[in-house]
Structure formats: structure tokens, C-alpha cells
Amino acid sequence: YFVQMGSDKYNLAATSEDGGKKKKKKTDIEELKKEVELVKKTTYLILMKTILSSEYIQTGLSSSRAKEILACDGPNALTPPPTTPEWVKFCKQLFGGFCTLLWIGAFLCFTAFAIQFTTENEPANDNLYLGIVLAAIVVITGFFSYYQESKSSKIMDSFKNLVPHQALVIRDGEKKSINAEEVVAGDLVEIKSGDRVPADLRIISAHGCKVDNSSLTGESEPQTRTPEFSNENPLETRNIVFFSTNCLEGSARGIVINTGDHTVMGRIAILASSLEGGKTPIAKEIEHFIHIITVVAVCLGMSFFILSLMLGYGWLEAVIFLIGIIVANVPEGMLATVTVCLTLTAKRMAKKNCLVKNLEAVETLGSTSTICSDKTGTLTQNRMTVAHMWFDNQIHEMDTTENQSGTSFDRSSPTWSALARVAGLCNRAEFLADQNKEKSILKVCLRETNGDASDSALLKCIELCYGSVMEMRDKHPKLAEIPFNSSNKYQVSVHENPNPSEPRHLLVIKGAPERILDLCSNIMIQGKELPMNDEMKDSFQHTYVKLGSLGERVLGFCHLNLPSDQFPEGFAFDTEVLNFPINNLCFIGLMSMIDPPRAAVPDAVAKCRSAGIKVIMVTGDHPITAKAIAKGVGIISEGTETVEDIAARLNIPVGDVHRREAKACVVHGSELKDMSPEELDDILRNHTEIVFARTSPQQKLIIVEGCQRQGAIVAVTGDGVNDSPALKKADIGVAMGIAGSDVSKQAADMILLDDNFASIVTGVEEGRLIFDNLKKTITYTLTSNVPEISPFLLFIIAGIPLPLGTVAILCIDLGTDMVPAISLVFESAESDIMKRLPRNPQKDKLVNEKLVSLAYGQLGMIQAVAGFFTYFVILAENGFLPTYVLGLRIYWDDKYHNDLEDSYGQQWTYESRKIIEYTCQTAFFISIVTVQWANLIICKTRRNSIVQQKMKNKILIFGLFEETALASFLSYCTGMDVAIRMYPLRPWWWLCALPYALLIFIYDETRRYILRRNPGGWVERETYY
């Protein structure tokens, strides 16, 4: 991948295969998923020999050759994916699925109105109003959806922010600062501290160079870069630096081996932007619901359209029947209701540190069955902290919680004072200037520092447990220093010693414990320097291994008081040609550091386990550290063994233990690289507790796809650029708000504002709650469909005057039912919400046969009876008995029949009959509102009694008053009889439906009582939705 050899000169992978063709415009996603690979070492050696033996190393490329390569390869930039025009995006929101059905309905309404307008002298405007309303619903919903979608910026835009503007190259033997886009493969590039790397470079010389690879690998520790090849994995070898990473220290010179889309970052960018995120679970559920409603509405409408023609109705009347039935079946306000419900939940989640970018992601988190979590900053605090110290031949455990208060140990020990002095002086970290001013206010652990993570951890520990490090440094001015480097593996500094009873100069060293031990001949115990004997060396080795096995980074500390006669005051210390000793020192102790788990994480992981959610750690960190943190937070539970643990317990080789014998496993990225999809599936299927360590961005994506092959709904957390492909592919991507890169935030569906894994569990609970509450909302809304449909059916079959008009149906669906339906989203969770297994997307549907049975076959039927009872009561009071009304419709609607007799022989004109009809329709409308009171109250809970759940939902109580007030306004407001044909009712007509409301309440309370008394019984199997 990195370098390809020609016959007598080198060609670089950024150029095309024949060195002269244009770059491919399309990239195979499967090819992008493959691991980045280095060339064979033999080819690499031939290349380097060719380069180093030529004058290239001094002069770089010629300007003419650079122009040729630039013309061949194109600029050093990320190619943006093809964009969709904004008008196309908007049109997509206006058509498809439910919108198409409403457009058809609107078209039919306009068609019917046009025919009526041309054939009748005084056509009714109902169909015109209805068509306008249906079209308005589609357009308003489309605008809202388009706005929601357009708020999310494109992923590639965030990648562009990673590209440096300038680069320092060597061409024609001269250093030139050029636009980074003009850098080509083969260029010699120099980088220094503070620079952003302009391309993938092979280092040929370096001076103390350290880079931040956290965006690619997830490791927060600065990585040393040297010309030496150190690892087959290109992401871990020391002689490669990557495009868009930052140089933190030192300087380096390197050869450009890849540019633009061919860089590691470019591959990730293309992969992240090319991946198609599938439909969210809630989108699939809503689509399933729409399909059911659409099929029912169209089938029922067409059936009665044909039936009405067979019964002798004209085709115009039959079309009007068809429109009425479709409108009555389709809950026009449902999409708006669902959108508002999701929006309100998203706002509630934002208050709990979960910022939702995609509304549908609100419920997806509740459906999650597997969480693939990053380690650093999500499960851990994202700050290195001193966890243990070893001095005076004892291990001391430190406080690693977020609010560190120090740890009780013998601070009066002279050895501790010596250890604190070495750790404070041999340390480059310092508190920021403004942090020092506020040190009396700000806790030590929260103060920001300059310096690498390990030095910062030591600085905070000494400041907390010993005292002011700045004062210590002021008393011990630094005279000389040898910085830490990869060959020595230690840092040396020489300081003045203000203590008159000690020699004038103090030499202090910290570094890798084994290297420090080799420099020492003595060890300090209780302040006294004793010879380093085998017993002490064994104790040291035992402690070192123990702390290392906990995944902690261990450092050793030693010092030496330089003799005053050999090193008098003013002595010039030379760090190039050492003129002072660094052997026969006194070993003082060890300090180990780790990025500790967040306090709330273990409990959050336990909640996930009780909720049936599998938590998998996926990290770029070392397997030992990953395993230690996984055990600390409960991802690997206490007593659960990995293959390595079983082998150690039985004292047998790891290869002799079968993988399936272990419930837990830690998989290294190098193992994952060689696994087939079937082998990965086997691990995911047969291990309940899994840690993936040293993973690459492509491997994180492969792990997500593996989980999805198992049928899991996968949530992925991440903060780096390396996480963006996995975040995009996951069912829900969760980025970190504090430590997260812009790229990861753009790829994700949700952002954790506090970077805390525990917030995800809160999000899961909210997601499950919204799914439960949407079920309640849909049940409430669908129940009124039956009393809305049945008037049209009897109107056609029995020939009675129309009991309910289409405009009244819209007043219910878009008026009185809206606020009560939305109020159900504010219902609190029932007791079992985090004790249930994640729902099965194939079986546990948002709208299932039990819900439809309850809404349509039981509660809806009672509501329909209530409406017809009220309708017939009012007709009877006005002289039209129920038996007389049957088959009366033809005469009733005849404009020229002005002497129609009622049951008592009274004659009615057309106008007077219509007033009674519209009054009955208003009463039918009011009766639906009345029985919906009871329906709203019983929909508060699916299992518990209303007595248990109580009426704590203030929005729901407001909804009851709102729908009553709106119904009263529509009935009694002056002018409504002309605008929407609603007439004032006599007060007692409101009471007709009350017994049915009471019946609904008693019926459902009884049903839920039986359900609780007989869990798993017939009632639960048939009615628990």
C-alpha cells in the first residue's frame, strides 16, 4: 500500500498503477475496508538504498518532476463525494409512502370538487377544504423533515478542517513553503512542533519527534517517530507519520508516500462518506405501520366504492365515499404527532447530556441490543492518574476517582519526600498560568496542564499529596536536562540543592523501571540508602509485573547527590558529552498510572446487562490495559475467565485451551486481521464478554458489521476520526461532545455532552420509554378510527343520513386528538422498563395484531356505539326514529324534496333536515371526544393500574381540558355553522356518551387486572400490546 517499486526508480502508491493514468473516480468500498499493509521488507530495503545513495536526499524533487506528478495524481486534497441538489432532497420529503397516499387523497378531493363545481348549482366546499388540508399536511411535514435533514453538515466538510494550508518542502535543493494541495508523492517534507502533517510521510531523519495519532488509533499518548522500521502494522510502526496528524515535539524530515485520497486519512474519509446508513428501527416500524393503514384504507375504500356502484349510487357519489373512507382510515395527524413526540424526547435527553442529531435515533438507542464502546474518555476519565506507588517495599493505592482527595499513607516517610521530589523535578508538565491563579478555587484534578499525560499525572499527584510543585522547582532550579528518548528510555535532570546539609547538586532520573534499576546500586528504605540485594530486586520485579498486569504504565525513580568536591557551585554540566555520572544511583520507588474508569460506568454496565444489552469494548489501546479496564468496569465480570486466564490457572499453553471454554475473550487487532467473517461470527456468538484491542478503523467497521449479521441493533461510541466509519455504519453512532473530533460528531447520530458512558444507559431508558409511549399514542389515535369509519359504512350500506362529515374527522385527527396524543410522551416509565430484554425487531413491532385488536376490535367498537347512540337519540328527539331512518338517505339528500315526513308525520324541508344532520354530526364528533377522555386515561399504562400510575402527568391533564375546550369552541363559536357546518348542542346531549366512557375505563382496568394476576395467560397473550 505504501510504496511500490519500479525497475530502477521508485514509484509511489499515490500515483496510478501505470504512473500515467488519472485516479479512479469510484472506489470500491470493500477495498477500502481492507487493512493498510506495508510492502515487503526486501522491497523496502531496495527502495531506501536507492534513495539514500542518490542526491535526492539533499535536493528533493525537481519542480518540473513535481508538476508532472501533480498533473498525474491531482491535488493533495480529499475528493468530495457527488452531492444531491437541494431541490431533489426537498422533493424526496414530499413524496413516498404516507405522503403519496395523502397526495392521492388530495387529488381525488380536488377532482371531486371540480366535478361538483361543474355539475351542481351550489356545490359544497367540503372536498376543496379537505384537499387543501391534505396537501398542507404533506408540505408542512416535508418542510420540517427537510429542515431536520439540512441541519446536519456533510461528513466530508469536517474532514476538510483537518487539512493543513501550508507545507515546507525541499525542491531543487531549496526549502519552499507551498500550498499543501501542491504536495506530491516523492516530495521531501519537513515538519516541526505545532505543524499538521500534510501527507503520509516515511521518516528519514528525526530529532525528538513526537506525534499525536489519537485521531487515527485512539491512543492519547504521544508517539515517538524515528527512521527505524519497528512494526509490520503501518499504524504502529515508528517510521511513518500520517496526513492530518499533529507534530507535538521535535522535528522530522520525510518522503511523501501518499497524498489526498490515497492517504490513510483519505481512505477513512471516503469510507465514512460512502457508507450508507440503513433505515433506523423506528423508521422501519413507522413504515410498517403506514403499510398496514394504507392497505386497510385502500382495500376498504375500493371495496365500498364498488359496493356503492352496485347499490345504484352514481360514480361521483361513489368517489366521495371512497375519499371519505380513506380519510377516515388514515390518521392524518400521526406523522406530526410522532415527530413532535420524538422532538420532545430529544429535548429531554439533551438535558441528560444526550444531544440527538437525528430524531429517529431517539428510539434506536432504546432498541439497542449491543453497544460497541470505545475505552478512552467514554469508559474512562480521559486523564492519566497515578494509581499506585511502591516505596519502602510497600504498595500504596491512590485515589483515582473523579474527585480525588488523596490517599492515606505515611506522608512523613523520608522516602516519600524523596520520591515526590524526583517526580516533581524530573517533569516537564506545568499548570496553565490562569490555573495557577485559581488554584485555591479549582480542584487539583480539574486543573489544566501543559505537558504529556504521564508528566501531568505525576504533577497533579505531587501537588495533591505533597505540596506546591512550583515552589519545589523554584527552590531547585534546573541546571541541565536530557529529555526522554526511545533509545535511553529515561529522562535526566540536574538541579541545585538548597539544603546546606546535602551536596550542592542533585541528579534525578525517571524512566522505564528496568532501565532505572540497571542504573542503581542502592535502594532507599525509610530514608536510608541500602545496598540493592537480590531480595529487593525480586520484590521490585514482583511489584513491576503486578502493576503492569493491571494495565498501568509504570515508571521508576532514582536520584544521586553529586559530590560537592567534584561538582562545585557553577559547574558546567554537559549533556552532549556527559561529564557527570548516571550510574550507581539510589533507587527510590515506582509510580504507576492509568486512565481510570469513570465512577458511574460499572453501575451503567450492570444496568445494560440486566436490560439484556451486550457491551463490547473496541479500543486501539494495548490488550493488557484494555482487559484491566474491562474488568474494572464490569465488561468482563468478576470470576469470568479468558483463554489466557484458563491457561495460566491450568499452567498449560494458551494454544491448548479451546476458545469456547472461555466466556470472555480479548481479541488483538493482529488476530482480527486474519479472521474470516465466519470466525468473527463465532466469537460474537459464543462469547458474552468481549474486548477488541489494538483495532484499526477498518476493523472497527468490520466488528460492527459482524454484530449486525447476528441480528443485533448496534450502538457505537467513538471520539476520533478513526471511529467515523463505524459510527456511520452503526444503527446509532454516539460521539463524544468534549473530546470528540468534528469528524466523529458529524458521522454520529447522537453526541454525549459529558463523554460519559453512563449517559448512554440513560439514553437507552429514554429510547425504550419513547417506544412504549408511542405504542400508547398510536393506540389512543387508532381507537377513534373505528367511530370515524363506521358512519361511512352505514351511510353506504344502510342508507342513513351521514352521521359524521370528513371535515369533522379532520377536526378530530388534527385538532382534538393532537395534544392528548402528544401528552402521552410525557408518561413516566413503568417498573420493568430496564429489566426487559431488548425488543426483537422481527417480532416486537410498534403496531402489532394485539394493538390493532384492542384499538379496533374492542375499544373502538365501544366508541362507535357511543357515537351512534348519540346520533340516533338526537334524530329521535327530532321525530326520526332509528327504524324509520334506515334507507332514508336518497330522500333526505334530495334538494327538491321539501315535504319529507318524519316518524310522527311532521314535514321537513331540505334546509331544516340539513340543520338536524349537521347537528347530529356535531354530536357524533362530541361523543368521540367524550369517550376519548376515558381512552386517554387508560392509555397511560399498558400493565399497571391507573391507581398505581396515578394522574401525575400534568400535560395529559392539560390535554383533557384542551380537547374539551376545542370541541366546545368548534361547536358553540359563532360562524362555525357556516365554516365547517358545526352547530351548538343542548347540554344533555354531551351526556349521551358518558356511560360508554365509563364502560371503556372499567373494561380496560379489568383487562389489566387479569393481566397482572395471570402473567403469561390468555389475556396477556391476546391483548398485551
Residue-level length of the chain? 1025
Triad 969, 827, 841: Cα angle to 5°:
115
Q: Which of 195, 374, 621, 1004 is catalytic?
A: 374
Helix (H) or strand (E) holding 156: helix 155-160
Residue whose C-alpha is closest to residue 251's, from 216, 214, 203, 182: 203
For residue 10, the SS3 value is strand
- Does residue 279 contact residue 841 with C-beta atoms inside 8 Å? no
- Does residue 635 contact residue 691 with C-beta atoms inside 8 Å? yes
Pairwise CA distance, residues 430 & 463, whole Å: 11
Pairwise CA distance, residues 10 & 748, whole Å: 40
- Does residue 643 contact residue 665 with C-beta atoms inside 8 Å? yes
Pairing of strands 478-482, 490-496: antiparallel
Please indicate whether residue 374 is annotated as part of the active site. yes
The DSSP string of 240-298 is EE-TT-EEEEEEEEEEEEE-GGGSHHHHHHHHHHHPPP---HHHHHHHHHHHHHHHHHH
Pairwise CA distance, residues 20 & 5, whole Å: 15
- Does residue 331 contact residue 344 with C-beta atoms inside 8 Å? no
Give, as one character, the DSSP assignment of residue 418: H
- Does residue 851 contact residue 907 with C-beta atoms inside 8 Å? no
Locate cell 530495503: which residue?
A: 45
Helix (H) or strand (E) holding 617: strand 614-618
CA–CA distance from 437 to each of 425, 441, 637, 716 (Å)?
21, 9, 44, 40
Output the 3-class SS for 319-364.
HHHHHHHHHHHCCCCHHHHHHHHHHHHHHHHHHCCEEECCCCHHHH
Would you state the cell numbers that stand for residue 565, as one nine-digit string? 568536591
Residues 6+ apart with CB under 8 A from 706: 677, 680, 681, 684
Q: Residue 948 phi/psi, 5° resolution?
A: -75, -45
> String of b and e for 231-263 (b: at least 16 CB within 10 Å)?
eebbbbbbbbbbbbbbbebbebbbbbbbbbbbb
For residue 172, the SS3 value is coil
CA–CA distance from 42 to each of 4, 214, 670 (Å)?
12, 30, 22
- Does residue 559 contact residue 503 with C-beta atoms inside 8 Å? no
Residues 6+ apart with CB under 8 A from 251: 190, 191, 192, 193, 206, 207, 208, 209
Name the amino acid, one letter, at 658.
Answer: H
Residue 720 β-bridge partners: none
Pairing of strands 732-736, 750-752: parallel
- Does residue 376 contact residue 597 with C-beta atoms inside 8 Å? no
Catalytic residue list: 374
